[in-house]
Amino acid sequence: MSDSDDSDDGAGRRRQPTIVEVADRAGVAIGTVSRYLNGHPVRRSNRDQIEQAIGELGYRRNAIAAAMKGDLTNTVGFLVPSISEFHAAVLDKLSHEMRRAGRALITYSHAAEPRSVSEALDFFAAHRVDCLVMDGRRDVDDRINELISSGTPVVFYDNGWPGLPVDRVIVENRASSFRAVTHLLDIGHTRIAVLTGNIEDWNGRERFEGYRQAMLGRGIDLNPDYILDTHWNEAQAHSGVLKLLSLAEPPTALFCCNYNMGIGALRLLRERGLRVPDDISLISFDDVPLFQLSGITAIAQPVEEIAETIASIVALRLSERGVSHEPHTITLNCNIILRGSTRRLLTPSTLASH
């Protein structure tokens, strides 16, 4: 312990330790302590040593961190895997909500690469964003926890992975998928194929679970040939549907778990001269302009409500800076827009009755 630990300021008051003394006690560089106090990510081992040194030396950690962080920057980070139809729509609406509140969005697309996500988190920390909104992830838990412990609230949307102390704004992925597949079952289809997103993603798993529960609930065993993980990808969906059509008993209906896969499926069907719904019925998650123009039945995510809810949570958390809270999980309803891409399956018995 250095002599300075017990020194005073000449007026009988204990002198506050300096950043140099904190770094010395923690056994780290002064710049590392500065990064920590400014809310920038540091390695977990360094963070633990710094926090221990702050406690031993008598820092009032929260007050100092807040003082070092300074005033709000009125910027919010928006981290997305891609600027696709869905994320672009959320970005557009959320930007509007932020502007109304006097804030600006800083957007970063990470292309679903863990290294890129880590670089993005460094970028947002360096720019001292007041809050971070991102698609839920579970491969950078430590980095997200570092942001949270530095005083930066984090809001997940789209993917609602549990386990982190973040707010979540999600939709009824499972229930909506269940309703969509139930519609196909109600109009006579039993050979229903599904193009899933990445089943390792939370929303990919939830949407598949909706399909699975609807099928099993009607006593229909799952046919593994009808379940294709096409990873949210248009090209993989295109080749996947070709594989489905080559089966001895191809499906009579198709449920696509996002619009990219729905577009890939439609492109293949058109190339093969097959018509929707005359030759195959189709429903897709996500309602995009192309589906509206071409009459595709789709599950519409409430984009405007998603953006408004995120904006409300951001405003709440920034008004309660420094106040601990239980994270919120808000689940929003989706609408199924029935158009002309499904039809009742004509069986021999129904044909005879006509």
Least reliable range by pLDDT among 7-11, 56-60, 185-189, 258-262:
7-11
Q: Before 277, cis peptide (omega within 30)?
A: yes
Cα–Cα distance, 67 to 51 (Å, whole number): 16
**Mean of pLDDT over the chain:** 87
Give the pairing of strands 192-196 and 227-229. parallel
Give ranges for CATH 3.40.50.2300 in the chain: 75-170+303-330, 173-301+337-353
Q: Are residues 263 and 287 in contact, defined by beta-carbon separation less than 8 angstroms?
A: no
The domain 173-301+337-353: what is its CATH number?
3.40.50.2300
What are the tens digits of pLDDT across the range 144-176?
988 888 889 999 999 888 889 999 999 999 999
What are the tens digits of pLDDT across the range 289-346?
999 999 999 999 999 999 999 999 999 999 887 677 789 999 999 999 999 999 999 7
Let me know if domain 3-69 sits in CATH 1.10.490. no
Give me the architecture of the 75-170+303-330 domain, per CATH: 3-Layer(aba) Sandwich (3.40)
Cα–Cα distance, 39 to 227 (Å, whole number): 45
Q: Are residues 135 and 79 in contact, defined by beta-carbon separation less than 8 angstroms?
A: yes
- Residue 40 confidence (pLDDT): 64
- On whether the pTM is more than 0.75, the answer is yes
Give ranges for CATH 1.10.260 in the chain: 3-69
